[in-house]
Amino acid sequence: MKKLLTNTLDLFRRNLILWVPCQIAGIILFLLRRLQRAGIHWLLEYFSMQHSVLGGNVLSPDLTQAQHRTMLIVYPLGTVKDFLEICLFVAALAATKNLVQMILEGQRPDISSALREVVPRWREVLLFSFKYMAILALSVGLLIFVSTSPLTPERLRMHAMWKEFALIFTLVAEACLAWLLMPAAIRLLRQPGDPPIGVHERTWGVFLAVATSAASSVLDNLLGKAETSVFLDSPWQAQALGLVNTIIVNSTQVYLFIALALIAIQHSAFDPSLALDTQSSSWSRLSSWIGRTRKWNGGPF
């Protein structure tokens, strides 16, 4: 599978259009999180104020009640936001696969066409997003149980509070999540009637998912530390810097999406002549397809 990694990197570097779906999803996610923070601040301020008999508004003496009322609104809306974010990235994954397929077929990739091909499969996108969110919620619930439950041994609870434990637990949970969802993800990227994913493909898909998740965490921590050390003159500069950091962190997801697209295209029924031979790990035809795409790629690479 070394060829898979190198050919994924080649597509990643030479076809910047493959970055677009994931980065659009990341930018929308960035804006939604900023909107959520502003909404929470506004709700707290709204519920913390009460009308004075002397005219005007005064701060309520019961701030706990204001926080409670705010959370009653924020939690349901936050769940909807989280589901929307997952749907956006799942749709971006499907659109990236469509773009990769266009490249491998020698066509000029078109974003609008790639997105239009996702629309008829909106039920599958929603179903996969629901599965992802449900399994993720179970993982988070398990971490909370381990770290707070009196039934958990005290030593294990102490370890669960460590940052290193949370990181290891996250990677293990990511591996389990990827292993459970990889067949559904590949089915989403393949056409009906295509063969199911094999164990070899599934294993490599899980490895790539965990590796990119770890890389994202490292990049996020490094950029977060760098961001706190930079003095900015205005909030707009901070927002712009945060947006740039989001694009950088999401680059690892772009790589993962391209790799999963290549895995899904193997033995795909869209064109039997383009099927890849995974048993012999022969990716020479893929290399030739990538070479043909360079004639119209106008990027700096």
pLDDT, tens digit, 9 for 90 and up, residues 194-238: 788 888 889 999 999 999 988 988 898 888 887 777 777 777 888
Assess whether pLDDT exceeds 50 at residue 299: no
**Helix or strand run (H / E) with residue 31:** helix 20-48
Which residue is listed with tokens 């997952």? 86
Assess whether pLDDT exceeds 90 at residue 43: no
Per the domain annotation, does 286 fall within a domain? no
Question: What domain count does the chain have?
Answer: 1
Per the domain annotation, does 9 fall within a domain? yes
Per the domain annotation, does 274 fall within a domain? no
pLDDT of residue 268: 59
Among residues 297, 284, 269, which one has the least CA distance to residue 4?
Answer: 284
Helix (H, G, I), strand (E, B) or coil at 58: strand
Per the domain annotation, does 285 fall within a domain? no
CA distance linking residue 184 with residue 179, whole number of Å: 10
CA distance linking residue 101 with residue 106, whole number of Å: 9
198 phi and psi, to 5 degrees?
A: -85, 170
CA distance linking residue 201 with residue 188, whole number of Å: 15
DSSP string, 234-285: SHHHHHHHHHHHHHHHHHHHHHHHHHHHHHHHTT-TT-GGG--BTTTTB-HH
Assess whether pLDDT exceeds 80 at residue 294: no
Per the domain annotation, does 300 fall within a domain? no
CA distance linking residue 8 with residue 261, whole number of Å: 9
pLDDT of residue 288: 42
Per the domain annotation, does 95 fall within a domain? yes
Arithmetic mean of pLDDT, 241-246: 87
pLDDT, tens digit, 9 for 90 and up, residues 60-69: 666 788 788 8
pLDDT of residue 297: 37
Per the domain annotation, does 32 fall within a domain? yes
- Residue 207: domain span: 2-48+62-267
Beta carbons within 10 angstroms of residue 214's beta carbon: 15
pLDDT, tens digit, 9 for 90 and up, residues 61-95: 667 887 888 888 888 888 899 999 999 999 999 99
Q: What percent of the chain has pLDDT over 90?
A: 37
pLDDT of residue 68: 82
- 160 against 109, higher pLDDT: 109
Q: Do 29 and 280 touch, CB atoms closer than 8 A?
A: no
Q: What percent of the chain has pLDDT over 70?
A: 77
Query: Running DSSP on this structure, what letter comes out for residue 107?
Result: P
pLDDT, tens digit, 9 for 90 and up, residues 255-288: 999 999 999 987 554 443 443 333 333 334 444 4
